[in-house]
Amino acid sequence: MNNSASLPLVIGLGELLWDCFGDDRRPGGAPANVAFQANQLGCRGTVVTRVGQDDLGRELLDFLKKQQLSTDYVQVDENYPTGTVTVEFTDANDPQYTIHEQVAWDHLDFTAPLATLMGDARAVCFGTLAQRDADSREAIHQCLAATSDDCLVVYDINLRQKYYDRDWIERSLKAARVVKLNQDEVEVLSELLGVSQDDLQKFADQLQADYGVEAICITRGSQGCLIYAEGEVYDIPGTPVEVADAVGAGDAFTAALISRRLLGWSWDRAALFANRVGGLVASQSGAMPVLRDEFEQLSQEIKNS
């Protein structure tokens, strides 16, 4: 089983919800996706979130257990329902989301057990969406403050609809060691923060200088990614895949990048692996396809190349 205490603890901090596609629904939420994929990638993925005391919440807890993910840090809310998102596809590469409000993950509570867990984490991934309500926003930053100095704190900016604010973003940038965003988010941040987007090198340099970020990762879909880290720029090309749907592909990328950095891989090799993992997930339906064996094969292939 993949829940050994000896494995590096990677926490997905934020939303866990149901992605609803017409008559079908699947587990989702970016931080939960990251934890799920980290678990498949040889880490101890753990979700820190909140669900409702309802059938949808119980089903999510059952799903996590079946996937060998701990439910010890999934809080159950008596007042708010489990989160849901309506997903619509006019284009398989560009899903559209309607994220329903006043749900359980908006009201995460910081607790003593959470503080202990965060202190044990080797990596934590969090985003912007789960900060839309002050309750969860404060709990998330209390969690981040409880991490150790060597914890790899990753801010996957992951802007959705109207659920972002300059203050939240700046506070999150200051809390992070690594920042991941896509090209659309570069445009939004450039406008919000007054940072040039004409030159991505200058954009990355300014984020690093202004907020103390160690590494910036800009994903470009099928075009691969750019990594700005340690004074270097890594331009990693993408690998073409036939996209089933892109839901969760970026989260798989993030989990893969985290997992290989924790193993000591170089930025360029870790990013190459992450691109391939993201592509594999995009070639499957849903955010959490079971691909443990495929990931291991791919890891060996890139490690030995």
Of 166, 263, 271, 264, nearest to 216 (Cα)? 271
Asked if residue 99 lies in contact with residue 85, where contact means CB atoms within 8 angstroms, the answer is yes
Calculate the average pLDDT of the chain. 92
Q: What is the pLDDT of residue 92?
A: 63
| C-alpha separations of 88 from 20, 21, 27, 33, 92 in Å | 9, 7, 15, 19, 9
Q: Please determine, for residue 116, whether its predicted confidence score (pLDDT) is greater than 90.
A: yes
Tell me whether residue 302 is in a domain: no
Of these ranges, 63-72, 88-97, 126-135, 234-243, the one predicted with the greatest mean pLDDT is 126-135
HSE at residue 258, side-chain half, CA atoms within 13 A, is 40
Which of the two residues, 113 and 86, has the higher pLDDT score? 113
**Given the structure tokens 């057990």, which residue do they identify?**
113
CATH number of the domain where residue 16 is located: 3.40.1190.20
Tell me whether residue 57 is in a domain: yes
Q: Are strands 225-229 and 215-219 parallel, antiparallel or unpaired?
A: antiparallel
Q: What is the pLDDT of residue 252?
A: 94
Confirm whether pTM is higher than 0.85: yes
Q: What is the pLDDT of residue 80?
A: 98
Domain that holds residue 172: 9-295
3-state secondary structure of 225: strand
Tell me whether residue 174 is in a domain: yes
Asked if residue 141 lies in contact with residue 173, where contact means CB atoms within 8 angstroms, the answer is no
- The angle subtended at Cα 14 by Cα 9 and Cα 20, nearest 5°, is 115
Q: Please determine, for residue 3, whether its predicted confidence score (pLDDT) is greater than 50.
A: no
In this predicted model, what pLDDT tens digit does every residue of 36-84 receive, in sequence order? 999 999 999 999 999 999 999 999 999 999 988 999 999 999 999 999 9
Which of the two residues, 24 and 15, has the higher pLDDT score? 15
Mean pLDDT of 245-261: 90
Q: What is the pLDDT of residue 2?
A: 45
Tell me whether residue 4 is in a domain: no
Mean pLDDT of 11-32: 91
Tell me whether residue 286 is in a domain: yes
| C-alpha separations of 124 from 139, 197, 285 in Å | 14, 27, 26
Tell me whether residue 2 is in a domain: no
Number of domains in the chain: 1
Tell me whether residue 219 is in a domain: yes
Transcribe 107-165 into DSSP letters. G----HHHHHHHHH-SEEEE-SGGGSSHHHHHHHHHHHHTS-TT-EEEEE----TT---
List the beta bridge partners of residue 235. 226
Of 62, 128, 63, 76, nearest to 107 (Cα)? 76
Tell me whether residue 65 is in a domain: yes
